[in-house]
Structure 1
Amino acid sequence: MKNLILTGLGILFFSILIYGCYDSFEYDDSGEKGSSYESDLNVLKKFVDINESTQEYYINPNKKSTVISYITNSDLEELNAVNPQNVLQYKDNLSMLNTEILQAISSHTVDYVVMSTNHQVIIKKVNEDVPVELSHVAFSASTNNQVRSLLDISDQGLSKDIYSRNLVETGIELNPSLYTRDNWSFRIRCEIGDSGNKQIVRVLFCGMGYFSVATFNWLLLNAYDGKVLWNFTCEQVMNEDLPSVAQMVFFK
């Protein structure tokens, strides 16, 4: 009888212990469901790619941001942990940027579109008869990287005059506040020559996150004899709530 009582108490104690363990290890997904848009944005930007045939941004789940991610697949695990609502919101914002790009291309209101991600810069030539060849180059390829002048890119429509021959070397330095934004865009108009013989090129710059190694050469195809006036003007910016979106740097 005593053994039966002890056996019953043992089973009861074991049952209580098992129930307590299940209760303690209950899965808590509140962190994933409640993750902020800002924190998820940093993850989503790692997977943004550019479809060069359609000139559109999209989220590529197979994109690898580091060498280690090829081995551990850690990037995909990080993407899967993003709040689904934040993914939808970010895709909507990418769609708005894609619409701006496609409208600019279809209407031929720009001659070039410069699209960038954290690790990539692509230049799309819209009009074939453009007077300037725009190219993206490594920063070290500049002549000496000495700054000649700066143009503040904002909604004030500021401009900068540069006297140069057939080549102007520029860089783009984004306002760090844009690193935490969904995306950004601005338009630059470049006029070369005097009022009686001006050549004009318009460029849409756009992207998201950090704009790395943003150095561009502007090569005038129909060169003048000697130096000529280059006028660069900021025509339009997306992020109008910022006093300054970026600085356009002119190298000597």
Structure 2
Amino acid sequence: MKNLQLTKLGFLLFLVLLCGCSDSFVIDTPAEAGNSYESDVHVLNKFVDISEPVQKYYINPNKKSTVLSYITNSDLEELNAVNSLSASRYEKSLFRLNEKISQAISSHTVDYVVMCTSSQIFVDRINDDSPIELKSAGFTTLSDNLVVSLLDISSEEMSSREIYSGNLVQTGLELNPSLYAMDHWIFRIRCEVGEPTDRKTAWVLFCGVGYFSAASFNWLVLDSYDNRISWNFTGESMLDETMPSIAQMVFFK
């Protein structure tokens, strides 16, 4: 009888331990654990569009990034799988980026705003009296054979490059590959044209969501037809965090 009671007691203790272990040993499902912010950013970047009339970025859940997504709706499935905390953090980042764009425009400190996504380039002229005309030449593959100079754009220091050209300068913009996992990037370029005694200045705000390998731009100085003009370009980061290299501006022949 005593052995039977001990057996029952041992069985009860086993059940208590089993329940305790099952409560503390919970395996997170993918939905509960969530993705990393970087992987969620890669998904969210696909759905960002540009509202050109108001110079703002916004999330467009109906945006299709590939032809296949029109058939399978795979992009929307990815969007629905994004962690809610990541989505909230990302929306705050877009809000801060839009604020910086709005402040630059309202304070009249930029001549142009260049807004980019992985598939769009929008160039908006803010100052009608700007001494230059800036146009996008689209996404392109840059050729090293045509490069005459490079300008590194960093948050650690401001750097400048001076070149001599005619009234047209063709440049390429190469983003740092690490921006692939970032929610946004932003910097300014100061473009000074002419000799020191008669120099004209234009400021261009470059910003973007998502990554592209290279994009090209044409800079044209207005009211000048000289074959040898001094162009001075200076890059200035506007990111909140420190980043040794944001992008490179490439100058072509």
Which category of TM-score, normalised to the shorter sequence, fits these structures?
Answer: 0.7 to 0.9
1:131 is displaced (CA, Å) by 1.1
In 2, the alpha carbon distance for the partners of 1:180 and 1:140 equals: 21
Structure 1 position 194, deviation (Å): 1.1
Please give the root-mean-square deviation of Cα atoms over the aligned residues, in Å: 2.0
Q: 4+ residue stretches of structure 1 with deviation over 4 A?
A: 139-145
Note the C-alpha offset of 1:113. Answer: 0.6
CA deviations 1:97-119 (Å, max 9, x no partner) are 00000000111100001100010
Change (3 A) 1:178 1:145: same
Supply the distance in 2 between the matched residues of 1:63 and 1:217 (Cα, whole angstroms).
29
The correspondence of residues 163-242 of structure 1 with structure 2, limited to 5 A, is 163-238=164-239, 240-242=241-243
- Give the secondary-structure state (helix, strand or coil) at the position aligned to 1:53: helix
Matched with 2:78 is: 78
Contact 1:171 1:214 in 2 (8 A): yes
Whether the 8 Å CA contact 1:185–1:239 is kept in 2: the answer is no
Distance 1:122 1:79, change over 3 A: same
Q: Secondary structure at the match of 2:204?
A: strand
Cα 1:206–1:73 change in 2 (3 A) is same
Q: What's the TM-score, normalizing by structure 1?
A: 0.84
Give the whole-Å Cα distance in 2 for the aligned partners of 1:213 and 1:152: 14
Amino acid at match of 2:231: W
Q: Gapped runs of 5+ residues in structure 1?
A: 1-27
Any conservation in 1 of the 2:141–2:214 contact (CA below 8 Å)?
no
Show CA shifts across 1:191-211 (max 9, x none).
000122111110010002213
Partner secondary structure for residue 196 of structure 1? helix
Residues 130 and 143 of structure 1, relative CA distance in 2, 3 Å threshold: farther
Could you tell me which runs of 5 or more consecutive residues in structure 2 were left unpaired when the two chains were aligned: 1-26
Q: 1:166-221: per-residue Cα shift (whole Å, max 9, x none)? A: 00000111111111111110100000001221111100100022134410000111
Percentage identity across paired residues of the two chains:
59
SS of residue in 1 equivalent to 2:46: helix
Q: How far 1:141 moved relative to its partner?
A: 10
Amino acid at match of 2:135: S
SS of 1:63's partner is: coil
Cα distance in 1 for partners of 2:81, 2:75 equals: 10
Q: TM-score with structure 2 length normalisation? A: 0.83
Greater mean alpha carbon deviation, residues 221-230 or residues 100-109 = 221-230
